[in-house]
Amino acid sequence: MVDRNGWERGRSVPTGSPREPPEAFVEQANVTDEGIYEAFDEEWPNCWERAADLLSWDRSYGTVLEDDEPPHYRWFTGGRLNAAYNCIDRHLEAGRKTHAAIRWEGKQGERETYTYRDLYVAVNEFAAALRDLGVGEDDVVTLYLPMIPELPIAMLACARIGAPHSVVFAGLSADALATRMDAADSEYLVTCDGYYRRGDAFNQKSKVDNARLALEHDVETVVVDRLGDELPHVLGDDEWDYHDLREEFAGEEVEPVSRDAEDMLFLMYTSGTTGEPKGVVHTTGGYLAHVAWTSNAVLDVEAEDTYWCAADIGWITGHSYIVYGPLALGTTTVMYEGTPDYPDRDRLWEIVDRNAVDVFYTAPTAVRAFMKWGEEYPERHDLSSLRLLGSVGEPINPRAWEWYYEHIGDERCPIVDTWWQTETGAIMVSTLPGVDGMKPGVAGPGLPGIDVQVVDDDGDPVAPGQTGYLTVDRPWPGMARTLYDGDDRFRSEYWEQFSDPDGDDWTYFSGDAASIDEDGYVTVLGRVDDVINVSGRRLSTMEIEGAVTDADGVAEAAVVGRSSETAGTEIYAYVSTENDCDPDEDVRRAIEDAVESTIGEIAVPAEIVFTPELPKTRSGKILRRLLEDVANGEELGDTSALRNPEIVGEIQSESGAVD
């Protein structure tokens, strides 16, 4: 049923009683009611009205949940609203025009502040420009931009006119961009000339040109001039300069389009168990309600806060918790374009200090890097503005948790370890920082109203302390409604494994392994499918394998994850060459180039191990589990079922992986 690679290797599950959240925090927390879990259970599904109440509706909904077509649940049906109105206009009406909406910190030290009024102007002008280019309601607009203010501006401009956006992470390749645009039939693209990468001007536009060549349909393209004279660019057919368009539509206002709660707000492509990325569909009402509620209850965000989620908007974390959640609440959201160690390793702490950041949310990979660099960097800065810390994207090991708690939070700030996914839209598992005790390395219980279960192969709950599959039993507002590529794939990817459609019993399977303790706290152990999580970024081993195999000189390849202290997981590729040709530097480079050009730099293997053959079963199946054990220096079980057991020793000695 489900492939169990990975978690049986026995990542240890932390135990112990919860640590109470700091009292000073609890006194001011947004949610302090210990009865909230019970209240949500009793009122379910109407409990979610509390989330919907955080939004402004053009027309109120008739029904909280309609569940007559599982697993395609519908939330807040009959309701109408506009996401851009909720994230901007209503804050102006509340007299917050001059309140900062976005504080942008550029890679080269540039800084820009957009007040809610500035954001209103920019979004309206760009919405008018998009309309003029022909973008209509429900046309998918692809956004291929790095962390510059034009990215959230473009997202909100799309939302304003009811055009779903599909953001493609700027570091992905031309091929990846073309595949996503093709799959979404997207005829509009917003991109930039380039951006700075390690201090050098990097040409993004040439990737776009290649992607457009690969597409059969025309693409109206808007280009943001990020680099000025550093990288002169010439606009070709169907290409428009962003700043010229803004000027052309200066002062224009666009009435926000009233969208049905169930209308699509955006599409987000993510890696699945096959080579084809999945287009996850999120809707307007349920998604926005869920991200606003969790920003308030879990991240404890308030309108007066300066809040910083140090993720990239190219992934779901940035959509939900840099853009939609914090802006729906009218807070100030910090947006950082650069890396944590440029120009120096105290860059993030300098930003926290200068902006008096209240809430800071990042990935464990970053925390492990800070820990390696040492406490002298945070110690150089005043971090006393911080009130709460968050972690997302991977399991945080207890040692990193403790370091984060002590050296960044000064033991004053609770840590929320938030588990969720592109498909869940918003946070699902976490402690409520004003209510629950914390356990380092353990995410926490399912949030109020979220029915998280850890189950065995038969779908029965496992005993406390045992490992199993992380599933969700009841629907939730932020959930993906379907996959853009089709309902069948949606059902087979997430619902088939543990549901009993005949018995009208529907269970969502996350693809993660976990354990649950006596207190109902969940420890997430990692993926059990062919997805690997590299520094909090989700990649498909199948997709990488496809790219490696395409490289000149490669006969066969298997890609596995190797646990790593800093990155969480690293990519290891085991490769056999064509005609037994000598695996020289050329083949290695060809593999790296192939992966970079089909997916992007983030998917290039940390290690490429050449082997005359891959280990196979008698029926010819590559045994990836065994390679994963080899990469991780694990003891190998019985290899006698292999057709070529002698190869294992050879691979082990070739593999620099064995510690």
Interface residues with ligand PRX (CB under 6 A) are 270, 315-317, 391-395, 417-422, 443, 510-512, 524, 526-527, 533, 538
Backbone angles phi, psi at 123, to 5 degrees: -65, -40
Of 437, 439, 473, 482, nearest to 455 by C-alpha is 473
Residue closer to ligand PRX, measured from CB, 61 or 401: 401
CB distance 429 to 444 below 8 Å = yes
Give the number of other CB atoms < 10 A from CB of residue 259: 27
Residue closer to ligand PRX, measured from CB, 242 or 498: 498
Residue closer to ligand PRX, measured from CB, 123 or 442: 442
Q: Give me the least distance between CB of 57 and ligand PRX, in Å please.
A: 27
Q: Give me the least distance between CB of 280 and ligand PRX, in Å please.
A: 8
3 state DSSP class of 442:
strand
Residue closer to ligand PRX, measured from CB, 19 or 59: 19
Q: Give me the least distance between CB of 244 and ligand PRX, in Å please.
A: 35
Residue closer to ligand PRX, measured from CB, 122 or 167: 167
Q: Give me the least distance between CB of 141 and ligand PRX, in Å please.
A: 22
DSSP 8-class letter at 255: P
Q: CA-to-CA distance for 500 and 511, rounded, in angstroms?
A: 18
Of 255, 206, 229, nearest to 89 by C-alpha is 255
Give the number of other CB atoms < 10 A from CB of residue 34: 12
With a CB cutoff of 8 Å and minimum separation 6, the contacts of 474 are 44, 45, 449, 450, 451
Residue that is written with structure tokens 């001011």 in the block: 28
Residue that is written with structure tokens 């300066």 in the block: 306
Q: Give me the least distance between CB of 513 and ligand PRX, in Å please.
A: 9
Q: Give me the least distance between CB of 363 and ligand PRX, in Å please.
A: 8
CA 595 to chain centre: 21
With a CB cutoff of 8 Å and minimum separation 6, the contacts of 240 are 129, 133, 220, 221, 222, 223
Q: CA-to-CA distance for 367 and 365, rounded, in angstroms?
A: 5
Residue closer to ligand PRX, measured from CB, 326 or 393: 393
Residue closer to ligand PRX, measured from CB, 89 or 417: 417
Q: Kindly report the three-state secondary structure assignment for every residue of 529-578.
A: CCEEEECCEEEEHHHHHHHHHHCCCEEEEEEEEEEECCCEEEEEEEEEEH
Q: Give me the least distance between CB of 295 and ligand PRX, in Å please.
A: 14
Per the omega criterion (within 30 degrees of 0), is the bond before 464 cis? Answer: no
Residue closer to ligand PRX, measured from CB, 160 or 527: 527
Compute the half-sphere exposure of residue 585: CA atoms within 13 Å on the CB side of its CA.
Answer: 0
Compute the half-sphere exposure of residue 375: CA atoms within 13 Å on the CB side of its CA.
Answer: 12
Q: CA-to-CA distance for 419 and 394, rounded, in angstroms?
A: 8
Residue closer to ligand PRX, measured from CB, 187 or 417: 417
Q: Give me the least distance between CB of 396 and ligand PRX, in Å please.
A: 7
Residue closer to ligand PRX, measured from CB, 395 or 605: 395
Sign of CA dihedral 600, 603, 604, 606: positive
Give the number of other CB atoms < 10 A from CB of residue 14: 16
Q: Give me the least distance between CB of 364 and ligand PRX, in Å please.
A: 8
Q: Are strands 141-143 and 165-167 parallel, antiparallel or unpaired?
A: parallel
Q: Are strands 508-516 and 522-527 parallel, antiparallel or unpaired?
A: antiparallel
Residue closer to ligand PRX, measured from CB, 156 or 443: 443
Residue closer to ligand PRX, measured from CB, 300 or 417: 417
Q: Give me the least distance between CB of 497 and ligand PRX, in Å please.
A: 14
Q: Give me the least distance between CB of 568 and ligand PRX, in Å please.
A: 9
Q: Give me the least distance between CB of 80 and ligand PRX, in Å please.
A: 28
